Amino acid sequence: MKIKKIAIDPGHGGRDPGVVSGNHREKDINLKLAAELFTQLLNTNYDPLLLREGDLNLNLSCRVQKAADWEADLFISLHHNGHNNKSARGTETYHFPSSKIGQQAAKLIQQELTALLSSPDRGIKSNDRFYVLRHTPMPAVLLEPLFVTNKLDQNILLRENYYSRVSLSLIKALNQLNVIL
Ligand SMILES: [Zn+2]
């Protein structure tokens, strides 16, 4: 298995809540998903590392450094989207432009997430500005499965099995990635 050590980065934390809409705070949603993904990865022979384990303010360079020191095979940054225009919704996944494996991972993850969530497919996006894509020495992806600011996406988020099903989809994508690498 080429991609076995997975660094999970729950976006934001502590003083930085990320997107806030009503009772929903992105930092909490990201952490909940990260914790579930961590457990599922452990149970499926992957080797996960959780970069933020509680409601902590952890800077981006510290997150990247932790993953680099641990020699992660893949860095997965978990976020949820937001927009002033409350009708904006859908699923998107980012990778660094020159990372072939990052792009392959993003593509597989995006396929699984759009099939699961049935929110509009906003596609995979190449981005050289996000710190955690730019400064990670290993392939990296940044996920934005849904918009916290959109009512329809919120309804999907509130489904009881949201976190477990998204985690399962991510593992399916990782399994596929390991087959093609
Ligand atoms: Zn975010």
Within a 10 A sphere around the Cβ of 129, how many other Cβ atoms?
A: 8
CA of 7 to the centre of ligand 1 (A): 17
Which pLDDT band holds residue 169 (cuts at 50, 70, 90)? very high
CA of 8 to the centre of ligand 1 (A): 14
Q: What is the structure's pLDDT at 32?
A: 98
Q: What is the structure's pLDDT at 5?
A: 98
Q: What is the structure's pLDDT at 3?
A: 98
- State whether CATH 3.40.630.40 applies to domain 5-180: yes
- Render pLDDT for 133-163 as a digit per residue (tens, 0 to 9): 999 999 999 999 999 999 999 999 999 899 9
Percent residues over pLDDT 90 in the chain: 99
- Render pLDDT for 89-119 as a digit per residue (tens, 0 to 9): 999 999 999 999 999 999 999 999 999 999 9
Backbone dihedral region for residue 171 (phi beyond 0: left; psi -120 to 50: alpha; all else: beta): alpha
Domain map of the chain by residue range?
5-180
CA of 34 to the centre of ligand 1 (A): 13
Q: Rounded CA gap, 19 and 150, in Å?
A: 11
Q: What is the structure's pLDDT at 1?
A: 87
Q: Rounded CA gap, 176 and 173, in Å?
A: 5
Q: What is the structure's pLDDT at 61?
A: 98
Q: What is the structure's pLDDT at 174?
A: 98
pTM value surpassing 0.75: yes
Average pLDDT of the residues of the chain: 97
Tell me the H-state helices in 75-149: 100-117, 131-134
Q: What is the structure's pLDDT at 149?
A: 98
Q: What is the structure's pLDDT at 25?
A: 98
CB 20 within 8 A of CB 81: no
Nearest to 37 by CA among 1, 64, 68, 10: 10
CA of 89 to the centre of ligand 1 (A): 14
